Each structure stands twice: as C-alpha cells, then as structure tokens.
Amino acid sequence: MKGNLVGILFFGVFAAAGVGIFAFQGLPSITNSLDARSWNQARAELLSHELKSYRGDDSTTYKAVGEYRYQYNGQYYTSDRLSWSSGSDNIGSYQQDLHRELSRIASRGGEFLVWVDPDDPSSAVFDRDMRWGMLLFSGMFLLIFGGIGFGGIYAMIKYRNAGEKLAGVSDATPWLAYEEWKDPVRLSNSKTGTTFMLYFALFWNVISLAGFFAAAQAIMKGQYAALLVLIFPAIGIGLLYYWYRLKKSYDLTGPMPFTMDPHPGSIGGQLGGHIDLNIPVRQQPKSTEVRLQCLRKYRSGKETRTNVLWQRRMIPILSSTGNGLRASFCFDLDDTRLAPSDPPLGLPRVHWELNFVVQLADGTKIDRTYDDLPVFETGEASSIRNPEAHITTSTAMASVHQFLVGNVLDLQRSAGAYSLTYPAFRQISGLFMAIVGLVFVVAGLMIPDRVFNIVFPLIGGLTTIAGLIWFGGGLTVRFGPEGITANRSVLGIPLKKQFVPSYSFKEFKEHESHSTTSGKTTKKYYALFAHGRQGEIALVAKNLNGLEEVDAAKERLLQIIQP
C-alpha cells in the first residue's frame, strides 16, 4: 500500500502540472475573452511600442509591448495591456504579428480602437479575442500531463491490491493466493484496449493539431516541405478509424468470457475451456484460431522485454449455446519442463496468455487476448478431453501443423533443387517507417531550436535508413545437392553471398528478428539460419510468425536436404 501512495503522489505531480499550466495560461484566455464580449470600444492613441526578445540557452521568446491613452466617459486613462497574454513566448508568431499591427497603427498616426470594461473603465485591452495557439498549447499540457497524472492515479487506486498475496492461503494452492487468479472466468483486455486506443487517438490528434496549424502557416509562406508534417494528422485519422473498428468488434460480441477448464491450467495435464461469443448461430465464422503462449517478461535497462518460451495453436470446436456460439478447446501440457505462472505484476516473471481470433464471413475480425492465466503443476485433466472434443481438437492441431509444414515456405522446385525467394520492396511497414523517419528529419530542420535541429534529424535519419533496409531487403535461397546458398540484397544492391556446403551442414537455428505488440498481445517474428560445422552460416527464411512456423519451416527444410 505504501508503494501505491508513492505512486499517487508521483502521478499527482503530473496532474498538478497539467491543471496548473492550463489554469494559469489557457483558462484566463477563455474567461477574459468571454467577459470582454460585453465591453465597449473607445478611441485610443498609441504612445509607444516595441518587440522585446529574451534569448535562452535553446530558444528565443518574444513579447510585444506598448502603451496607449484612451478616453472613456470624459476621462482619460493609460494602459499597457495589449492582450490576455502576460508573458513572453514563441508559440506561433502571435507576438510578432501583434507588434507589426502596432507598427502599422503608428505609421498611420497612432489612432486605433481598444475595448474598455464599462464597469471598470481603467481596464482596457487592444486584442480581446481568444488566443487559440496559447489555448491549444496549454490544452496539450492538460491532456498530456493531466492525462498521465489522473490516469496514473486512477490505476493506482483501482489496482491498489493487484499483485498482493492474500493471507491464509496454502502453498499447495498458489492460484488462490492472488485476487487476479481466483475466478476461473477470465475476461479479455478488449474493453481496456478499446478505451486506451480512444484516448491515445485523441492524444495524438490534439498534438497533431498543433503541427497542422504550424504547417499551414509555413505552407502559406511558401515552405512546401511542411507538407510532410501533414502525415501526422493523417495518422491521427487512421488511429480514430482503428478505434472505431475495435469498438465495432467489441459491441458485436460483448466481453466474451473465457471459462478455464481445469482451473488453474495444469502442467502435466491440460489447459482448456470455452469462450462464449455473443453472435448469432447462423453467422458461422469463416475461420477461428486459439493460440496459447508461455512468456517470460523481464527488464533490460529501461525496457521491458518478452521472450516466447512455448507456443501452440489449434482450431476450436464451435457449438450453439442458445445465446450464440461457444468455442471449446483443450491443449495438452504434458511437458513437465514447462514453467508455472509467477506472481502477477512482478518482473522478471513467467506468465501465460491465450489469444483467440475469429474471422467472420463479412470480413470483421475479432481478436481477444486473455493474459495472466494461472498455470501450475497439478496434473489435472480437462472435461473437454472426453468424449470426442479433445480428440477433435488434437486432430485439428495436428492438421494445423501439417498445413504449416507444407505451406509456411513458398518453395519452388527446378533442375534438381529447391529455391525460396523473398522479393524486395514488399515490406510496406518498412516504407512507412522510412517515411516517418523522413518526417522527423524535415520537422527537426524546420523547428527553430538547436536541440531539435540535431536530435530529430539524427533519430529520423537512422529510422529512415532502417526502414529503407527493411523495405528494400531481398533474399533468394537455393537448396541444392552442393549445399545451401543465400543471395541477399538491399535496394537492389547485392550483398556478400552466404554458403553452407551439404557435407558441413549441422542444424537450423532461429533468431528473433522483431516483434509487434497490440494491446497486451505480443507476436514474435523469427529468421531462420543454416549453420555448418566449420562456422558457416546462411540466412534461409525470415518473417516466420511464432515458434510453430519456425518448427514447421525446420521440418520442411530437413525433408529437402535430408530426404
């Protein structure tokens, strides 16, 4: 509980910063502008004006200052208030524009109109309008810092007992020692993920809005390179569309509870159960798949990493419940080397998760993840094992494996050899990565700040290069009587050939190349290498999705080189 109080205080600082900046900068602009709607105009004479600049270590701020005299109800007053902004800043070109307007007034004789408070004639202002740039700036602080702060406080309160061991629980039943594990009915993270995506999309779009206005001003000045900045609002629209798809999927099926059978999942036995889908029986899915993973999460520096220790998938059995469809399945966990679940939230830890994917006939995809499943060495069997359900699911799992062996690699046979080709310029994600990196380069060069001029182009340049290598990487592998030959290229430029002679071949080894995370679901992608007894190495396959595809690829290639 002490840790939660520290967390609440920590996030409270963020919340106070967001609210404070908005209260002192954004809110007065709103209230003063609304109050001034009822003020009256009066003629004024400009006495002096100038644009002051204040140079800091990394940037320069500006403040337009001026003094004027005006007459109201027969009395003369003097004021130096030009707008609702009290300090200097470099948010847009507002201060410079205000100074230019005062210079224009001075060149025409110095007479102009000001707004006067009829209840307090000594209070006047030149520009009574709301300053949208300042409001957006302070609103971003409220959204970012306030969102982090209040969101963190909410999480600290809601999950204040998460991961805490309950008292009086026997060591023989560790799954009853934590509140998160006591209930055999598990809910997916879909609702949380949908809510998170909504807030993230709004957060992204608010930030992008500032870039949009800045880019619009730059474009109007003829700086057309700023068009690249518009990719950020475009991404924001895409994020909102993605949130809409998630919400549509959740609204279609509801929470989709997963009832574990047995509870907990059993090493030396089975992990099974059923998932209820709130969709009509007549709307039979086009395809379904259940994937079970044992993961190890650990901290490396400041980054949390995940290793896949074990992974299996199968096709579930579908049946009618009267309210919709039920997907039933059962995995054998008969390998006693499998690791049981570690306590929730701690690091490093082993945790189990189940991913359920349904593709409907109309193209709608339903993707649910159930994480932190309790799995222990109990040797319990699932009731799904008898009568035919387990046999059917086991057969389906074997069918999936055989299908993968035959189809995971697009091998072509000709002239007594097999070839495998990964064409270049097919990884659209790499192209997108390169474009984002290029945007960072351009944005960094356009921002009038020394740190941004260095950091953004450096990060963006490295990202662009990595994206182009990913997008333009090609691979052709030949499996012949002489051995395995790998020809690699980047952007059409050939790299050094890799060769493992047939007499020297030792084994195939996988290497994790990259991973993707959606919500709490992590997918690992692997590259497969052939190793020789004398240290030879050759890349033979890439972009293998999960250890099952790795195992299937190994089995298929061994069938070729060791018939």
Residues 422 and 490 in one domain: yes
Q: Is residue 175 part of a domain?
A: no
The two tokens of residue 62 are: 């500006």
Residues 263 and 250 in one domain: no
What's this model's pTM, rounded to 2 decimal places? 0.60
Q: What are phi and psi of 338, to 5 degrees?
A: -65, 145
Q: Is residue 439 part of a domain?
A: yes
Residues 350 and 464 in one domain: no
- Helix residue ranges per DSSP H, 145-189: 147-158
Q: Is residue 145 part of a domain?
A: no
Is the link from the previous residue into 262 a cis peptide, with omega within 30 of 0? yes
Residues 416 and 501 in one domain: yes
pLDDT at position 519 is 54
> What domain count does the chain have?
4
CA 536, CA 518: separation in Å to the nearest integer? Answer: 37
Q: Which residue, of 134, 155, 170, is where some domain finishes?
A: 134
Q: Is residue 157 part of a domain?
A: no
Residues linked to residue 127 through DSSP beta bridges, in sequence order: none
> In sequence order, what are the residues at sequence separation of 6 or more whose Cβ sits closer than 8 angstroms to the Cβ of residue 383?
261, 262, 272
Residues 479 and 555 in one domain: yes
pLDDT at position 387 is 40
- Residue 521 DSSP symbol: E
Query: Quick one: which of 488, 505, 480 has its CA closest to 539?
Result: 488
Domain containing 272 equals 258-401
Kindly give the confidence (pLDDT) of every residue in the chain, 563 residues in length, as a single tens digit, with 9 standing for 90 and above: 444 677 788 888 888 888 888 888 778 888 898 899 999 999 999 999 999 999 877 778 999 999 999 999 999 999 999 999 888 888 878 899 999 999 999 999 999 999 999 999 999 999 998 887 787 777 777 777 887 888 788 777 766 655 566 666 777 888 888 888 889 999 887 777 788 788 878 877 876 776 676 667 667 766 666 666 677 788 888 889 888 888 888 888 788 899 999 999 999 999 999 999 887 766 778 888 899 999 988 888 777 788 888 888 888 888 888 778 889 999 989 877 799 999 887 778 899 999 999 988 887 888 899 989 999 999 899 888 644 544 555 555 566 667 677 788 999 998 889 999 999 998 888 888 898 888 888 777 766 666 667 878 898 899 999 999 989 999 999 999 999 999 999 999 999 999 999 999 999 999 988 877 665 566 788 999 999 999 999 999 999 988 888 999 999 999 998 86
pLDDT at position 227 is 67
Residues 209 and 120 in one domain: no
Query: Quick one: which of 219, 236, 237 has its CA closest to 228?
Result: 219
Residues 466 and 556 in one domain: yes
Residues 342 and 439 in one domain: no
- Helix residue ranges per DSSP H, 358-427: 389-407
Beta pairing class for 265-266 and 375-376: parallel
Residues 248 and 289 in one domain: no
Q: Which residue, of 204, 232, 254, is where some domain finishes?
A: 254
Q: Which residue, of 364, 379, 401, is where some domain finishes?
A: 401
Question: Within 10 A of 416 (CB to CB), how many other CB atoms are there?
Answer: 7
Residue with tokens 């790499």: 430
CA 63, CA 65: separation in Å to the nearest integer? Answer: 6
Residues 535 and 484 in one domain: yes
Q: What are phi and psi of 71, to 5 degrees?
A: -115, 135
Q: Is residue 129 part of a domain?
A: yes
pLDDT at position 445 is 76
* b/e per residue 356-388 (b: at least 16 CB within 10 A): bbbebeeebebbbbbbbbbbbebebbbebbeee
